[in-house]
Amino acid sequence: MDSTHVADVAYLTSSQKAALKKGNVRTLADVVLLSIKELSTRCKISPLEATTIFNTICSTNSPQIIPLSHPTRAQQQIYSTGDTHLDAALGGGFRTGMVWEIFGQSAAGKTQFALQLSLMVQIPPDMGGLLGSACYITISSNLPTSRLLQMIEAHPQLSAELCDLESIDTIKCQNIPLLIRVLSKDLPQLISRKRNNSNVKPVRLVVVDALAELFRSDDKATRTTLLERSQNVFEISTLLHTLASTHALTVLVLNEVSDNFGHDDQAPSPSPELDYKQQSRWFGGADSVHEESDKEASLGLAWANQVNVRIMLSRTHRRRYIEDSFDAKRRKVDIASPSPSSNPGLSLDNDATLIRRLSVVFSSVSPPCSLDYIVTSAGLSFLPDDGHPLHTEHGYFPPSTQETSQSVQATSQSNMLASQVAPLDMGLAEHEAQSEAFET
């Protein structure tokens, strides 16, 4: 009923359809989500007529009560990240019909993850994919095609026979009106065109890289500009959710971070309700490793309330010599690792790989958790801990990933504030200032 246009139904009279059109009420969902008073005001009809329209639509489209043990086919569609441990941490992998967010500082691996998913979604279902294509929307940068080709060659589950660049469409949207136009008009047309063409893969993944870049401004924030930004965020999120639910695809939005100052010195609120800063601390970032809590997601709580899953990627100040037992094809030198010659004061071996951290801040399909990963030529890969792995207290992992979940280094949200710090890696510990110089 959500996407059915009122003009297409036979049980409404022509005058009722004209009134709804006049009030810019296009779909049946628009009708049932409005109160009788709002429907009457917008369409300039009497409350009695608005009630008649509302009751007619509800009686003709009675919702079905479906038990959670019998989800629809669209709800069951999950595809792999390419790493079973990352899949376990995310509740089995990436699901369709949802809006996912990955945020983090520069060089944390956000774009690498999105590129990896753009390829994994193309492979057959029996190998963990959806046999679909991806639409990659960039804001300021161009799609790195050479990096995609490198992943196809290096990843053990990918090959030129299974995935290619032709199954990834890309467009650059450098301002908010253009992005809204693409999401509301151009992208639905592309999705429909591909769905009706049996010779091409249907669109199953949409990536926006990176949304916060559209909201950068040197102007002083005022009440008017903040209100306009909130309206833009809501409109964009509505379009993204409509695409995800209507076309049964995954929407992945990349986001940036801002500095979080002074939350440790913050006095407890005298009110039992959480104030804005406290909510930002809980829902805008993570606290599983040192300095991770110094950053929080951009765009504030207005955007945080629009996503189903929020994932944080962080750079750590740790490196590790990868053991020979690690999968050789996944063990190529970290593409973001600095050259030892960039700092003569340190003699680093090329095998000393930069460690990063993935934290599920909140999710509707999996518990909060954290784990280490590295970025290789093949993409993101879980890094097992040589010490004692941490687990969520009440974590749920799908049956297909029970074995792999036993080695996931995870920690519950309630334990994140209990001074939990990941154990130091054996092999090489760098001074934070020196590693920061490398990473920049």
For the chain, the average pLDDT equals 78
Rounded mean pLDDT of 294-319?
88
| Residue range 179-214, pLDDT digits in tens | 999 999 999 999 999 999 999 999 999 999 989 999
Out of 3-12, 158-167, 274-283, 337-346, pick the least confident: 337-346
In the prediction, which pLDDT does 388 show? 33
In the prediction, which pLDDT does 157 show? 94
Per the CB < 8 A criterion, the answer to whether 25 and 6 are in contact is: yes
| Residue range 347-365, pLDDT digits in tens | 334 567 889 999 999 999 9
Size of the chain, expressed as the number of residues it contains: 440
Amino acid at 415: N
Query: What letter does residue 348 receive in the DSSP assignment?
Result: -
pLDDT band of residue 336 (cuts 50, 70, 90) is very low
In 3D space, the residue among 78, 91, 63 whose CA is nearest the CA of residue 120 turns out to be 78
In 3D space, the residue among 348, 330, 329, 327 whose CA is nearest the CA of residue 338 turns out to be 348
* Geometric angle at alpha carbon 107, from 101 and 108, rounded to 5°: 45
| Residue range 27-56, pLDDT digits in tens | 888 888 888 999 999 999 999 999 999 999
